[in-house]
């Protein structure tokens, strides 16, 4: 193995590796981009030694679903339900984005993810009207230093006269070909390619089938939303299953309205599910399906979804998801028996799995990512557990999930490189880029209010 060695000393390791569990007072050696050794004591004279006493080291977090391009619009969608979001975001604000807006929003959003402890971001980018927009988003991800799967999507504007609506348009093959042959050709690179498609919920059967076949042709993970509004192709999931097109390279985001038989069939076919707990609860998708998946022996990955509404802290998302599912189960038990369950239905360790190893599984990367395991990529987070909000630590897993916040994320390593250290991002010049982000957001929001005023004027 080539590359430098970094030795983390005297840490509490929450490995999320089933065989290793939690190890107190342990050392972890990084060599190049990988975890080279884990033991109670490692001596490596050539290594850069990092004192991790009082720290909890966890695997890098995986955000399985984020529309990073909306980062410049923070707060703008705070009170919107799903129909308002479609009208004002996709048919409104999204149409005013230039490539430079996508670039700075993606960069800032990815840096925020790193700051919060995310090392792998599934960037669900569905505002790509031109190749220049797409390249600008990929450039933002690459510049941030985050590990990312760039899910190439398509915009959803209102159709203009004479145009076909977005739900009748197959995914642009030329773009997938271009990206697969060019910038995103490698599957082991830091930024890789996936497809953010419409699927049966948001497109016709013909489009759904064509997009699934295109993803299979290029062996790409494909992800699609499913929830909230009436599906455009109600029998689409069954038709996909009948055609043998549902597989482990299929990811469904939300899935709240799927029937029990449908959900079972999809889980059995290996389909993964990504839950975005805050967005689903807020915008009206229906109740998160975590409990329904658990009954089928499956587990979700989690995403923070909407930078225009929520902060992107994945520990926060895990906390919300856990609280929602426990609330649901407690309420069901009270309704059934008049009493509370004897203990919590979902253990706190499972919530950490949703944002680590389950995220890796969703990506088909569980052999490389998602746990502190020798041979896996050195993606990890150093949580400073000496803080006033975390002391004393009696259960490191509980402390991380239920007490830690982004302020406790002291350091973040991605592929063996420090992306954050001593509570500071490695990226130089964050302030200047934040000023660009603010100017971009103001310009775009200004155009929407201008359009609204013109509509109101025309109505008079
Ligand atoms: Zn989404």
For the whole model, what pTM was predicted?
0.96
Give the pLDDT of residue 2.
Answer: 63
Same domain, 132 and 33: no
Instruction: Give me the pLDDT at residue 116, please.
Output: 98
In a shared domain, residues 418 and 289? no
Nearest C-alpha neighbor of 122 from the set 134, 131, 113, 130: 113
Within a domain: residue 331?
A: yes
State percent of the chain over pLDDT 90. 89
Same domain flag for 69 and 55: no
CA of 351 to the centre of ligand 1 (A): 20
Q: Which domain holds residue 346?
A: 61-362
Q: Say whether both 164 and 289 belong to one domain.
A: yes
pLDDT the model gives residue 453: 53
Residues facing 22 on adjacent strands: 14
**CB neighbour class for 215 (10 Å; exposed up to 12, middle 13-18, buried from 19):** buried
For residue 225, how far is its CA from the centre of ligand 1 (angstroms)?
6
The answer on 167 and 122 residing in a single domain is yes
State which of 362, 385, 404 marks the end of a domain.
362
Which tens digits make up the pLDDT trace of 309-344? 999 999 999 999 999 999 999 999 999 999 999 999
Calculate how far, in angstroms, residue 305's C-alpha sits from the geometric centre of ligand 1.
5
Residues 276 and 401 in one domain: no
**Are 39 and 80 in contact, with CB atoms under 8 Å apart?**
no
Centre of ligand 1 to C-alpha 65, Å, is 6
Q: Are residues 215 and 78 in the same domain?
A: yes
User: Hey, how many other C-beta atoms are within 10 angstroms of the C-beta on 400?
Assistant: 27
Establish if 330 belongs to a structural domain.
yes
219 CB-near residues (< 8 Å, 6+ apart): 249
Helix (H, G, I), strand (E, B), or coil: what is residue 369?
A: coil
Residue 454 pLDDT? 56
Pairing of strands 417-421, 409-414: antiparallel
Contacts of 200 (CB under 8 A, 6+ apart): 208, 224, 226, 231, 232, 233, 234, 235, 236, 237, 239, 240
Cα(135) to ligand 1 centroid in Å equals 20
C-alpha 70 – ligand 1 centre gap (Å): 11
In a domain, 153, yes or no: yes
Ligand 1 center from residue 81 Cα (angstroms): 13
CATH number of the domain to which 99 belongs: 3.20.20.140
Same domain membership, residue 191 and residue 122: yes
Outline where DSSP puts E strands in 127-271: 147-152, 191-197, 222-226, 250-254
Residue 398 lies in a domain: yes
Report if residue 439 sits inside a domain.
Answer: no
What pLDDT shows up at residue 156? 84
Task: Indicate whether 30 and 83 sit together in one domain.
Answer: no
What pLDDT, on the 0 to 100 scale, is given for residue 449? Answer: 76
> 167 alpha carbon to ligand 1 midpoint, in Å?
16
438 Cα to the center of ligand 1, angstroms: 23
Task: Give the pLDDT confidence score for residue 1 in this predicted structure.
Answer: 53
Q: Is 130 within the bounds of a domain?
A: yes
Measuring CA to CA, how many Å separate 260 from each of 87, 192, 324?
A: 30, 33, 20
251 CA distance to ligand 1 middle (Å) = 12
Strand, coil or helix: what is 150?
strand
Query: How many domains does the chain contain in total?
Result: 2
Q: In CATH, what number is assigned to the domain containing residue 16?
A: 2.30.40.10
Ligand 1 geometric centre to CA of 376 (Å):
29
CA of 227 to the centre of ligand 1 (A): 10
pLDDT value at position 457? 55
Q: Do residues 32 and 74 both lie within one domain?
A: no
Q: Is residue 448 assigned to a domain?
A: no
Q: Which of 93, 64, 203 is nearest to 446 (CA)?
A: 93
Where does a domain end: 331, 362, 393? 362
Ligand 1 geometric centre to CA of 330 (Å): 28
The answer to the question of residue 441 being in a domain is: no
Give mean pLDDT in consecutive 10-residue pieces for the chain, a chain of 460 residues.
87 98 98 98 96 98 97 94 88 93 98 98 96 98 98 89 91 97 91 98 97 97 93 95 96 96 97 96 93 98 94 96 97 95 96 98 98 98 97 98 97 98 96 97 88 54
Instruction: Clarify whether residues 328 and 384 are in a common domain.
Output: no
Write down the pLDDT at residue 234. 92
**Same-domain pairing of 353 and 325:** yes
């Amino acid at each position: 193995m080539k590359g430098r060695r970094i030795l983390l000393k005297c840490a509490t390791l929450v490995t999320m590796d089933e065989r290793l569990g939690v190890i107190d007072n342990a050392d972890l050696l990084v060599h190049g981009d990988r975890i080279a050794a884990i033991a109670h004591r490692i001596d490596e004279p050539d290594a850069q030694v990092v004192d991790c006493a009082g720290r909890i080291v966890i695997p890098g977090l995986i955000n399985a679903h984020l529309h990073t391009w909306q980062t410049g619009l923070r707060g703008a969608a705070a009170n919107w339900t799903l129909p308002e979001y479609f009208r004002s975001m996709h048919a409104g604000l999204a149409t005013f984005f230039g490539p430079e807006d996508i670039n700075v929003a993606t960069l800032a959003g990815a840096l925020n993810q790193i700051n919060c402890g995310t090392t792998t971001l599934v960037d669900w980018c569905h505002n790509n009207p031109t190749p220049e927009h797409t390249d600008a988003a990929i450039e933002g991800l690459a510049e941030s230093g985050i590990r990312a799967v760039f899910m190439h999507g398509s915009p959803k504007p209102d159709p203009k006269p004479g145009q076909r609506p977005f739900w009748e348009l197959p995914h642009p093959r030329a773009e997938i070909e271009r990206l697969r042959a060019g910038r995103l050709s490698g599957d082991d690179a830091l930024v890789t390619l996936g497809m953010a498609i419409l699927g049966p919920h948001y497109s016709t059967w013909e489009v759904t089938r064509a997009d699934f076949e295109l993803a299979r042709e290029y062996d790409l993970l494909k992800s699609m939303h499913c929830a909230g509004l009436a599906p455009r192709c109600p029998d689409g999931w069954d038709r996909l299953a009948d055609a043998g097109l549902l597989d482990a390279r299929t990811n469904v985001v939300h899935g709240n309205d799927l029937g029990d038989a449908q959900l079972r069939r999809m889980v059995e076919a290996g389909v993964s599910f990504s839950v975005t707990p805050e967005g689903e609860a807020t915008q009206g998708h229906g109740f998160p399906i975590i409990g329904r998946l658990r009954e089928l022996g499956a587990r979700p990955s989690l995403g923070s979804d909407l930078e225009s509404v929520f902060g992107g802290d994945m520990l926060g998302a895990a906390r919300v998801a856990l609280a929602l599912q426990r609330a649901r189960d407690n309420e069901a038990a009270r309704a059934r028996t008049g009493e509370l369950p004897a203990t919590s239905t979902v253990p706190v360790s499972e919530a950490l799995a949703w944002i680590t190893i389950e995220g890796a599984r969703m990506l088909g990367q569980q052999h490389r990512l998602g746990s502190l395991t020798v041979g896996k990529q050195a993606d990890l987070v150093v949580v400073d557990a000496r803080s006033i909000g975390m002391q004393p630590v009696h259960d490191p897993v509980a402390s991380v999930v239920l007490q830690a916040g982004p302020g406790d994320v002291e350091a973040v390593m991605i592929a063996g490189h420090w992306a954050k250290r001593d509570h500071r991002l490695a990226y130089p010049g964050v302030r200047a880029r934040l000023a660009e982000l603010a100017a971009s957001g103001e310009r775009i929001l200004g155009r929407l209010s201008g359009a609204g005023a013109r509509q109101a004027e025309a109505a008079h």
